[in-house]
């Protein structure tokens, strides 16, 4: 591993060590749990292949793992952060500490690999996608959720936030949809599909550790559900869909 990549990896480990407490606050609020379930639902709706063996790559504290274990027969979580996985272990899912650019699995083991908000933390993205391609069986599928920079206002605000907030690494960045598609295709994935996700509910219900507005509002769970319904409408409206704060992408390994 080259020195720059190792340095970046160590910074990410330290960053996520600090964020464990934030994540526990974020996922504790009932209204946030409702939104996280919606995010997971949208991700899993991208799956169009028969899957039994699933890898949650970058599983963190396990926000996606519980939903995966309810749906699929064999699920493994993997992350570079030992502290994050210590929280996830209470779910009882097999966990392996590993760098996504060098996965400790044999080729063709998994039917599905899901990464929720992982790739933008990775320096050598091509290497990680190549590893995902390797551990997927022929016909297996990759699903990603990544920060979207398609709307100029979001792109500007995100750039400032990543640069000045201690909740991010200075090299973290979002993606233009076309940029993410090209990156996935360059690794050998085909049948790529993309959808936008994350509008008002994402901002107001998704990050209560940073923006706890709903925590002090009576009926906040009902409000979160209403915002989710509005977001689904916005995602289908040509005028608003480009404003989505996340882009969901899937690709299939055909060979």
Domain boundaries, the chain: 3-253
Report the CATH superfamily, name and number, of domain 3-253.
Vaccinia Virus protein VP39 (3.40.50.150)
d(CA 105, CA 133): 12
- What does the angle CA 229 – CA 243 – CA 65 come to, to the nearest 5 degrees? 60
Its pTM stands at: 0.91
Token pair listed for 252: 């299939």
**pLDDT tens-place values along the chain, 255 residues long:** 577 777 777 787 887 788 888 888 889 999 999 999 999 999 999 999 999 999 999 999 999 999 999 999 999 999 999 999 999 999 999 999 999 999 999 999 999 999 999 998 888 999 999 999 999 999 999 999 999 998 888 777 777 766 666 666 566 678 999 999 999 999 999 999 999 999 999 999 999 988 899 999 999 999 999 999 999 999 999 888 889 999 999 999 998
- What does the angle CA 19 – CA 158 – CA 223 come to, to the nearest 5 degrees? 75
Q: Rounded to the nearest 5°, which phi and psi values hold at 108?
A: 75, 15
**Cα atoms in the Cβ-side hemisphere of radius 13 Å centred on 137:** 12
Contact indicator for 21, 204 with CB cutoff of 8 Å = no
Look up tokens 């994050």; give the residue.
84
Contact indicator for 116, 39 with CB cutoff of 8 Å = yes
Q: Is 80 exposed, middle or buried (0-12, 13-18, 19+ CB in 10 A)?
A: buried
């Amino acid at each position: 591993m080259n020195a720059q990549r190792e340095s970046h990896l160590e910074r990410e480990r330290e960053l996520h060590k600090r964020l464990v407490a934030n994540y526990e606050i974020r996922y504790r609020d009932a209204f946030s749990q409702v939104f996280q379930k919606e995010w997971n639902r949208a991700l899993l709706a991208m799956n169009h292949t028969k899957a039994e063996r699933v890898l949650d790559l970058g599983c963190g504290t396990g926000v996606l793992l519980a939903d995966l274990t309810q749906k699929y027969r064999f699920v493994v979580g993997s992350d570079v952060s030992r502290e994050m996985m210590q929280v996830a272990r209470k779910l009882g899912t097999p966990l392996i500490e590993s760098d996504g650019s060098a996965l400790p699995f044999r080729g063709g083991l998994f039917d599905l690999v899901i990464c929720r908000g992982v790739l933008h933390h990775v320096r050598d993205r091509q290497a990680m996608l190549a590893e995902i391609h390797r551990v997927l069986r022929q016909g297996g599928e990759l699903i990603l959720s990544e920060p979207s920079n398609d709307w100029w206002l979001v792109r500007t605000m995100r750039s400032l936030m990543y640069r000045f907030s201690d909740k991010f690494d200075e090299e973290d960045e979002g993606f233009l949809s076309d940029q993410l598609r090209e990156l996935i295709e360059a690794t050998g994935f085909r049948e790529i599909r993309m959808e936008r996700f994350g509008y008002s509910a994402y901002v107001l219900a998704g990050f209560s550790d940073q923006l706890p507005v709903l925590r002090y509002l009576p009926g906040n769970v009902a409000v979160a559900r209403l915002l989710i319904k509005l977001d689904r409408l916005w995602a289908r409206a040509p005028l608003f869909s480009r404003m989505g704060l996340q882009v969901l992408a899937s690709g299939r390994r055909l060979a």
